[in-house]
Structure formats: structure tokens, C-alpha cells
Amino acid sequence: MLQRIITNKNYQFLAMGIFLLYLSYALAFKLTIEAFTKNQDLKEKGKENSDIRFNPEFELRKSNNLDLVLKRFRLDSTDFRNKTLSQISYLADQGNVKLSEVPNLDPQWSTKNYFAERLDFEGDYYHLLGFLDALESANLGYPRSIAFISKRKTLGPTQENKLILRIYFEIAK
């Protein structure tokens, strides 16, 4: 009897159909159904936590990330004049950029915990951008504000254009 079932074309066709149905379910439909149910679960969780203002876990993560950023780029004001300025001028010299001005501190930029130090650099645009990249990767501080300023200087019959990169660093007191 088993021999008759194996040789009968109708039974072989039925067995092959069942096998292909199982194979298509295992390879395609099963993963699609799992993804659909997971999507529905995530939508329900998203509706429950849709108001991000009252999510304390998010606020805690956000606060911790901001603290890490501030710790990474905080500078000590007593060290700034000695160590940091010499490192910055060394980087500027390597990048063919000139440290042109370090003005006195402006009290309006000072707060209870921080003050901003302004540094001006001269050079061409390409070298200034390369220097800025090297300065940010050297972790000497966090540039709070960056501005490119073009100034014309008249010396007798000739005019000289110079490009100035003005950087404000945030420094801990």
C-alpha cells in the first residue's frame, strides 16, 4: 500500500504542495507575521509613552549626556593661560595659522561657573579650517562660537585682505 502511495502522481503532487506550503510559511510568512505583531506592540507602547515631557527616563539620559559633554570640554582657568594657549599656538604654527589676538576677558560673558575666552587667528580659509579641525580633535576645549571675519587693510597704495577666525571657548572658573 505504501508503494502505491509513493508511485501515485496525485499523492506526490499533494505531498509536494504541502511541503512548499510549509517552506513558504517558514521562510516568508512566519517572519512577516512576527514583524507585524512586534510593530503592533511597539505602537501600543508608543501611545502609552507619547508625551516625552513627562518621561523621567528620557530626562535622566538627556541630563547624563549633557553632563558628560560638559566634563569632556571643561577647562581650568588657571591652566588655560599657560598650558592651553601654548598648545593652541603650537597647533596654529603647525597648521600655518597665526594666533593674532587674545584680548582681555569681557565681564559680560562671565557667569557664576564659566567665562568665555576669545581667540583670533589669521590665515587663509583652507589652513583655518584645517586648524579648526585639529583644534577640535585635540580636546583642548569646546568652541562655543566660531566666526570667519574678512578685513581689508590699506598699506599705502596696496590693499591687503586678511581672513580672521574668531573662536570663543567656554572655560570653567
Amino acid at 83: K
**Is this prediction's pTM over 0.85?**
no
> Quick one: CATH architecture of 75-172?
2-Layer Sandwich (3.30)
Of the chain, the percentage scoring pLDDT greater than 70 comes to: 81
List, in sequence order, the alpha helices (H) in the chain.
2-7, 9-24, 30-48, 56-72, 77-79, 85-94, 125-137
The mean of the pLDDT values for the chain is: 80
Q: Is 172 helix (H, G, I), strand (E, B) or coil?
A: strand
Q: CA 82, CA 86: separation in Å to the nearest integer?
A: 6
C-alpha closest to that of 127 among 160, 92, 162: 92
Structure confidence by residue, pLDDT tens digits, 95-154 = 899 988 887 777 777 777 776 778 899 999 999 999 988 888 887 777 888 999 988 776
Domain assignments of the chain as residue spans, ordered by start: 2-50, 75-172
Rounded to whole angstroms, how far apart are CA atoms 65 and 59?
Answer: 10
The predicted structure's pLDDT at residue 126: 92
Three-state DSSP at 68 gives: helix
Report pLDDT for 121.
Answer: 93
> Quick one: average pLDDT of 3-28?
81
Whether 79 has a pLDDT exceeding 70, the answer reads no
